[in-house]
């Protein structure tokens, strides 16, 4: 679960801000408290805060909006609870623009992009007089990573900021503007918005954490760490900073430090079941399956949302319980709204199928499971989903490759020195190349496979990394993954690079042909012909071609 949950840090950490400005002081303080609780990822306290406000003033429709909006901004949106709250607000005041925006947000979160036009109409109907309506419209258009409209959001948020100038712009207006620029992949303007938030924010930890996660997204590790450290220094109780730091350490594969960060995050966040689910996810990401399972079990019966089954499936998958993982994924798929089923869910089902195939004795069933695995993992990869490193995970399932297996293999002083250098800069491709080569020199094939995988993550279009990974897989006796890597290498070699890569292409095509000779002899004939086109004197390819043409 390496990438999506880490990078979710850059989404959910930055959702709402810490300061509200309202005309009635007593009311304002209470609303401000609720906003602060959401910003600190204390969702249970935020929900209680706005529930109390509703009880104190049951005729104020806006309180129902603020309560419903928490269910949209928490880690896993609960569309039903949010919709129920917005509908109650509209029952009190059918003209409530905020609750109308809330209902449109639910539609947008479910993937119905007609909601964008609805939000535009709501803003038009409001005559753009209310800064809060403009702000919430802009925020709604940034809430969902796959269903949003950052340009329109930026327009509304800038108008909200302009409207609010007279009484002072709340910090969270700038935060959401930064979020919109992040969705637009415009880190410069995002950072500028956070700089403006820093001027007015009462809790600077909020700002530093957001800046830190923006630097993480940009893979600027030193600046990321500096900002996260500053956040903790100014407010040691600010929970999101520890979550961001856990993500940073997971990226560096500092598992022990990440576990301690998650312990602190748990300590300073609250016991809202959805927060605990997020913590369990992060433990899984950190390959701390015991803590992931313990955390999930503690809240499993308190959560009605089917998301709990998906998380349990991930944990059981991590433990190698593929049958249990499949049962839980099936429960999630059958109970969740279709809009919540993601390409990563297809990918996980593929990995589970691969795990089940590994122990299947019946040849026909094994072939069927392998086909399912390839099909579903291909869906996740085609969607560019990064919840897991799909090829690496498939290799781990089929060959038992993980960090522990690397550490158990051969090492050398050069390897240990390069590991330290990469720990300081994980995107140092020169050191990654040298480390992968050193692992090959000492025949630590698992280390070579995983390191070439990191090289591929850093330079996904660099063909030689796939060839080298294929060689390492082959030496590790994982021929299926070797074939996949060689095929990827072949697909990435550009016409101008063919001359320099002829020997490698000759061997790659030969290996693919050899693997296909029994299952797809016609394809094998084509591939071995390509092999000899690049390496006409390659005797193994000559022999294979003769055997195929008999």
Backbone φ, ψ for residue 318 (5° rounding): -60, -30
Instruction: Tokens 């240990």: give the residue.
Output: 416
Residue-level pLDDT at 160: 96
Backbone φ, ψ for residue 488 (5° rounding): -65, -40
**Mean pLDDT by groups of 10 residues along the chain of 550 residues:** 38 35 41 87 91 92 95 88 96 96 96 95 95 96 90 96 92 91 92 94 92 87 92 94 88 77 87 81 78 86 86 86 94 88 92 90 91 93 84 76 76 93 81 95 92 83 93 90 91 92 95 93 94 94 91
DSSP tag of 477: T
For residues 216, 220, 226, 228, the Cα torsion angle rounded to the nearest 10 degrees is 0
Tokens of 419: 């590991």
Distance CA 328, CA 313 (A): 5
Handedness of CA 517, 523, 528, 531 (dihedral sign): negative
For residues 130-168, b (16+ Cβ closer than 10 Å) or e, as one string?
bbbbbbbbbbbbbbbeebbbbebbbbbbbbbbebbeeee
Check: CB of residue 205 under 8 Å from CB of residue 211: no
Distance CA 23, CA 31 (A): 11
DSSP tag of 202: S
Residue-level pLDDT at 217: 83
Maximum Cα–Cα distance across the chain: 90
Residue-level pLDDT at 541: 93
CB-based contacts of 384, cutoff 8 Å, min separation 6: none
Neighbours of 26 (CB within 10 A): 9
Give 483-549 as a DSSP string.
Answer: HHHHHHHHHH--GGGTGGGHHHHHHHHHHHHHHHTTT-HHHHHHHHHHHHHH-TT-HHHHHHHHHHT
Coil/strand/helix, residue 147? strand
For residues 312-323, b (16+ Cβ closer than 10 Å) or e, as one string?
bbbbbbbeebbe
Distance CA 496, CA 133 (A): 56
- Of 236, 245, 146, 230, nearest in space to 194 by CA: 230
Burial of 444 (0-12, 13-18, 19+ CB in 10 A): buried
Instruction: Specify the length of the chain in residues.
Output: 550
Check: CB of residue 507 under 8 Å from CB of residue 535: yes
Q: Which domains does the chain have, with CATH numbers?
A: 405-549 (1.25.40.10)
Query: 171-183 and 204-217 are packed helices; what angle lies between their axes, rounded to 10 degrees?
Result: 10
């Amino acid at each position: 679960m390496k990438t999506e949950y880490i990078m979710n840090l850059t989404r959910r950490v930055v959702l709402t801000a810490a300061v509200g400005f309202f005309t009635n002081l007593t009311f304002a303080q209470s609303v401000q408290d609720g906003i602060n609780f959401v910003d600190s990822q204390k969702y249970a306290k935020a929900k209680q805060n706005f529930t109390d406000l509703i009880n104190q003033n049951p005729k104020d429709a806006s309180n129902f909006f603020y309560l419903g909006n928490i269910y949209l901004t928490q880690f896993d949106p609960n569309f039903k609870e949010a919709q129920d709250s917005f509908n109650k607000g509209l029952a009190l005041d059918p003209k409530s623009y905020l609750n109308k925006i809330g209902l449109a947000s639910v539609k947008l979160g479910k993937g119905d992009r007609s909601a964008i036009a609805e939000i535009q109409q709501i803003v038009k109907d409001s005559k753009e007089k209310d800064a809060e309506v403009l702000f919430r419209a802009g925020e709604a258009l940034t809430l969902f990573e796959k269903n949003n409209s950052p340009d329109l959001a930026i327009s509304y948020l800038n108008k909200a900021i302009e409207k609010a100038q007279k009484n002072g712009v709340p910090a969270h207006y700038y935060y959401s503007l930064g979020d919109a620029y992040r969705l637009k992949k415009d880190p410069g303007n995002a950072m500028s918005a956070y700089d403006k938030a820093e001027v007015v924010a009462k809790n600077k930890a909020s700002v530093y954490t957001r800046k830190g996660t923006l630097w993480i997204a940009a893979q600027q590790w030193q600046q990321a760490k500096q900002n996260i450290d500053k956040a903790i220094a100014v407010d040691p109780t600010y929970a999101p900073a520890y979550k961001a730091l856990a993500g940073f350490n997971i990226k560096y594969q500092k598992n022990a430090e990440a576990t301690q960060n998650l312990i602190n995050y748990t300590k300073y966040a609250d016991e809202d079941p959805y927060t605990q689910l997020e913590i369990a996810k992060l433990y899984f990401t950190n390959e701390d399956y015991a803590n992931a399972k313990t955390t999930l079990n503690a809240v499993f019966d308190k959560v009605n949302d089917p998301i709990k089954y998906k998380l349990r499936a991930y944990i059981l998958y991590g433990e190698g319980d593929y049958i249990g993982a499949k049962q839980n994924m099936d429960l999630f798929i059958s109970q969740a709204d279709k809009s919540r089923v993601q390409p990563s869910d297809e990918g996980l089902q593929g990995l589970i199928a691969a795990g089940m195939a590994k122990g299947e004795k019946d040849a026909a069933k094994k072939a069927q499971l392998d086909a399912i695995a390839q099909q579903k993992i291909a869906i996740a990869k085609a969607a560019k989903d990064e919840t897991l490193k799909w090829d690496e995970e498939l290799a781990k399932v089929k060959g038992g490759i993980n960090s522990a297996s690397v550490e158990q293999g051969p090492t050398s002083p050069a390897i240990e020195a390069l590991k330290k250098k990469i720990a300081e800069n994980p995107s140092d491709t020169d050191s990654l190349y040298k480390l992968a080569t050193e692992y090959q020199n000492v025949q630590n094939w698992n280390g070579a496979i995983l390191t070439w995988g990191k090289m591929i993550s850093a330079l996904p279009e660099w063909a030689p990394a796939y060839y080298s990974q294929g060689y390492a897989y082959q030496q590790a006796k994982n021929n299926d993954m070797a074939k996949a890597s060689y095929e990827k290498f072949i697909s990435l070699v550009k016409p101008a690079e063919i001359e320099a890569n002829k020997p490698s292409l000759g061997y790659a095509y030969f290996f693919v042909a050899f693997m296909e000779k029994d299952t797809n002899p016609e394809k094998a004939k084509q591939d071995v012909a390509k092999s000899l086109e690049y390496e006409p004197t390659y005797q193994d390819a000559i022999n294979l071609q003769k055997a195929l043409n008999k």
